[in-house]
Amino acid sequence: MKNNTESSTLTTCPYCGVGCGVEARISDNRLIAVSGDASHPANKGRLCVKGSALHETTGHQGRLLYPQIQGQRVSWDSALDKVVDTFARLIDQHGPDSVAFYLSGQILTEDYYVANKLMKGFIGSANVDTNSRLCMSSAVAGQKRAFGSDTVPACYDDLDEADLVVLVGSNAAWAHPILYQRLVRAKQARPDIQVVVLDPRRTATCDLADRHLALKPGSDAFLFNGLLSYLAQANALDEAYIAQHCEGFDAALEQAQRQCPDLITTAAHCGLDPADVQWLFERFACTERSLTFYSQGINQSSSGTDKANAIINCHLATGRVGKPGASPFSITGQPNAMGGREVGGLANQLAAHMEFGNPTHLETVADFWQAPRMAQAPGLKAVDLFQAIERGDVKAVWIIGTNPAVSLPDSAQVRRALQRCELVVVSDCIEQTDTTALADVLLPATTWAEKNGTVTNSERRISRQRGFLKAPGEARHDWQILCDFATRLGFGDAFAYQHPADIFDEHARLSGYRNQGSRDFDISALAELSRSQYDALAPIQWPVTEASPEGTARMFADGHYFTPSGRARLLPIAARMPANPCRDGDFVLNTGRSRDQWHTMTRTARSPRLLDHCDEPYIEISERDAQQQRIHSGDLVSLSALDAEYIGRARVSPNQQPGSLFAPIHWNDRYASHGAVDALVAAVTDPVSGQPELKQSPVRMLGLRPRWQGMLLSLDAIETPASDYWSRVTLEQGERYALAGFSDRPDWSDWVKSWLPASTDLIELLDSRANHYRAAAFRDGRLLWVFIASCEGELPPPAWLSTQLGRSLTTKERMQLLSGRPSEGAPDQGAIICSCFQVGEKRIRQAMKEGANSVESLGKALNCGTNCGSCIPELRALIAHA
Ligand code: SF4
């Protein structure tokens, strides 16, 4: 029953580019539960496991609450004076390009709008880029080259309408779960829908596929060049569409035929069986409703833009753009990557989808803003920006809501750059991240549950994100902080917004300013909304104009594009392999997401439930490579490149190609000693988009032989455990650490006392023959920490020990504790597969032995897979390999 103070708010999930609607239930300024918003068209009431755990991640623990300069709390006035004085001095002495903003696809469109307007129109530099550069900038560049505009033609309904869905470089089952499950339901309803996955790795997404083509890492453009050649040979082109609506077809086809003249050559380039290639090409040729769904596996490449255009070429050549079930469909990773693009959040864009190279656009934006100092040329893209900072060309950077010290390639270079930078300002909601550790000035910002504005998802749908909790401490909204800064710089009149609705109104008016159908992005029909209309704004797909007041589901159905000629462009694509080839002994490292974590874990690692699925950095290794290197699942393995090292647990898998490895992007210095995988990735970028090649990096691999391994559970957080290797997870109470040492084992008793929280109430057990050591410490009779180490043999499962932290224990229970196991009951259920109902692998295997041999029967027996469905591919894999 709801109590009197309980209320609910409709808002939008802050994680991925699906942009699901969320109903948040609030009581006493606390988020107590979330559920899917049944009225939101993106998810129709469903949430994935990350979205379902949002209420577990909004506590104030670890929040940045007050402004700081060099780690000392200061007033907002002092902090902003410091930032303004330094920015103003540097601009005066060295020009506007000596300063920069680095933003995030997590912030709202209104925040983005203000930052972009300030930097490009008033400071006079285009040095404003965003972590969306790492996510989808190749897709943007590909669309702009082909369509003359950064327009996604498709919508989510196309997943229901398509007869052939080709997923390329997308593990949608984990990265965009709600869209993947929509496709699952579509295929259940119409089993004849063909689903093909193109991915070097057999991912959870392949669970749905009629066929998985495990192509060579990075060879995607060869495959689509081969497809274009095949379409011509098979007379499967839409000649009339090409003639009426396209340009560049002949050159594109000639290049495709030169590189991939036939199936055999194409298959050889891609390392595929020619029969599989033929199967795919025949289906694409004869299926009018073909949808190509692509994501980071395409974009994060030194030739990502060309890959995007190779895909789009095939759709243009068959006239399959913007029609029901037929389009190329780029899916963004971040919740507001598209909103950022709308306001010019990338260094090479102007606001409202206008361009630097276009004098009319420059004049239009400058006039609209009455900009005193309009930037005239693109600024520095993310990787270039941090290199310019290291060189000293950029002397002050303001980082908003992102963690580049972990997420950018060659992250050691990024850290060096920030250490050398004269002024590093970081606005964030979290106090301790790898990037805040390098800041001179920290500014406390509001976060998801407190922010108010709009975001745009992968199908161009603008949704309201509505704040429902009071900001803690002195946290302020990003747009407010930026407006205050702008006012202190002397631009108060242009930044006198009182509410995000004022900013949205200006953004909407600019989109229609001197537009008259010349630009794709036009939401002028949403200008001049009253505050209450803005608050009530229902999700809507742009363009929203007088002619289309209800929004626009699909684009380009009429064959009119935004190029000067009005025709779409096919581009000749010289497909190429990754920039850094492997030498003898190297492995190709692919990086990506794990199912239940998000970005650098600043939010999702607060939920113990979300860490249960995967609690340590890991490396997926093929069976052949593991055998050759004598590596077993669970071993610690080192990867090295660029003088950096990543250590994770081996996961030996039949899903991995020999020679290829996979490691997750999430871990960082806050959660593991050697978990920042992007430190191994060279800063090689796509020449058009500037997007780094995060998917194919050469690395060395070495199986490690630790001298001892241990487990520590502690009520108090341990800043840096004193072991060679460690990783940390958050528990309901306290934290748990995996530890290992690579040199001789220490004198255990002295060693633990040297770095663990002190206690005079300590019990210890040393088996010197077997090299086991166990100790537990108490504070006021309650369990403070327990440490278990061994030079050989297994450690006990952690689940029961986790429940003992903070408890008062009897003498018998204290002895029991050192065994690491309860006297009876509480069986170990193994790694958690279903995070929603906390169902572990061992329980699932037991249920399978007892006759549950389908996802449905496991669901009936254990509930697993019956809520968000994110674990269903893993349940199917367990059944398949039983
Ligand atoms: S699919 Fe994406 S937007 Fe939807 S609930 Fe999951 S993380 Fe959030």
pLDDT in tens, 324-342: 999 999 998 888 989 999 9
- Ligand 1: does its nearest atom lie under 6 Å from the Cβ of 179? no
- Ligand 1: does its nearest atom lie under 6 Å from the Cβ of 334? no
Q: How far is the CA of 13 from the centre of ligand 1 (A)?
A: 6
Q: How far is the CA of 50 from the centre of ligand 1 (A)?
A: 7
Q: How far is the CA of 653 from the centre of ligand 1 (A)?
A: 27
Average pLDDT over residues 626-642: 95
Q: How far is the CA of 388 from the centre of ligand 1 (A)?
A: 35
Spell out the domains of the chain, with CATH numbers in brackets: 7-56 (3.30.200.210), 68-134+336-499 (3.40.50.740), 137-330 (3.40.228.10), 587-703 (2.40.40.20), 708-819 (no CATH), 832-880 (1.10.10.1100)
For residue 824, name the pLDDT band (cuts at 50, 70, 90): low
Among 22, 37, 43, 597, say which to mutate for ligand 1: greatest number of ligand atoms within 8 Å of CB: 43
CA dihedral in degrees (691, 695, 698, 702; nearest 10)?
140
For residue 1, name the pLDDT band (cuts at 50, 70, 90): very low
Query: Of 623, 641, 650, 567, nearest to 316 (Cα)?
Result: 567
- Ligand 1: does its nearest atom lie under 6 Å from the Cβ of 20? yes
Lowest-confidence region among 125-139, 575-589, 815-829: 815-829
Distance (Å, rounded) from C-alpha 336 to C-alpha 103?
A: 11
* pLDDT surpassing 70 at residue 696: yes
- Ligand 1: does its nearest atom lie under 6 Å from the Cβ of 178? yes
- Ligand 1: does its nearest atom lie under 6 Å from the Cβ of 340? no
- Ligand 1: does its nearest atom lie under 6 Å from the Cβ of 43? yes
pLDDT of residue 457: 97
CA 561 to chain centre: 30
Q: How far is the CA of 492 from the centre of ligand 1 (A)?
A: 38
Residue scoring higher pLDDT (60 or 42)? 42
Average pLDDT over residues 772-787: 92
**pTM, 2 dp:** 0.92
Average pLDDT over residues 827-831: 69
Angle at alpha carbon of residue 746, lines to 740 and 747, rounded to 5°: 140
pLDDT in tens, 253-309: 999 999 999 999 999 999 999 999 999 999 999 999 999 999 999 999 999 999 999
- Ligand 1: does its nearest atom lie under 6 Å from the Cβ of 17? no
pLDDT of residue 388: 98
- Burial classification of residue 720, based on how many CB atoms lie within 10 Å of its CB (0-12 exposed, 13-18 middle, 19 or more buried): exposed
Among 10, 37, 178, say which to mutate for ligand 1: greatest number of ligand atoms within 8 Å of CB: 178
Indicate which atom in ligand 1 lies nearest the CA of residue 178.
Answer: 1
Indicate which atom in ligand 1 lies nearest the CA of residue 42.
Answer: 4
- Ligand 1: does its nearest atom lie under 6 Å from the Cβ of 16? yes
Name 744's Cβ contacts closer than 8 Å, sequence gap at least 6.
707
Average pLDDT over residues 672-684: 93
Name 93's Cβ contacts closer than 8 Å, sequence gap at least 6.
none
Average pLDDT over residues 602-613: 76
Q: How far is the CA of 182 from the centre of ligand 1 (A)?
A: 12
Residue scoring higher pLDDT (471 or 29)? 471
Q: How far is the CA of 459 from the centre of ligand 1 (A)?
A: 14
For residue 375, name the pLDDT band (cuts at 50, 70, 90): very high
For residue 733, name the pLDDT band (cuts at 50, 70, 90): confident
Average pLDDT over residues 775-779: 93
- Ligand 1: does its nearest atom lie under 6 Å from the Cβ of 47? yes
Q: How far is the CA of 203 from the centre of ligand 1 (A)?
A: 19
To the nearest whole percent, how much of the chain has pLDDT over 70? 99
* pLDDT surpassing 90 at residue 732: no
Average pLDDT, the chain: 93
pLDDT of residue 548: 95
Name 475's Cβ contacts closer than 8 Å, sequence gap at least 6.
63, 64, 65, 429, 444, 445, 446, 447, 450
Indicate which atom in ligand 1 lies nearest the CA of residue 16.
Answer: 2
Q: How far is the CA of 14 from the centre of ligand 1 (A)?
A: 8
Q: How far is the CA of 380 from the centre of ligand 1 (A)?
A: 31
- Ligand 1: does its nearest atom lie under 6 Å from the Cβ of 173? no
Q: How far is the CA of 107 from the centre of ligand 1 (A)?
A: 16
Distance (Å, rounded) from C-alpha 596 to C-alpha 199?
A: 21
Average pLDDT over residues 530-542: 97
* pLDDT surpassing 90 at residue 177: yes
Angle at alpha carbon of residue 137, lines to 195 and 514, rounded to 5°: 110
For residue 828, name the pLDDT band (cuts at 50, 70, 90): low
- Ligand 1: does its nearest atom lie under 6 Å from the Cβ of 740? no
pLDDT in tens, 95-133: 999 999 999 988 999 999 999 999 999 999 999 999 999
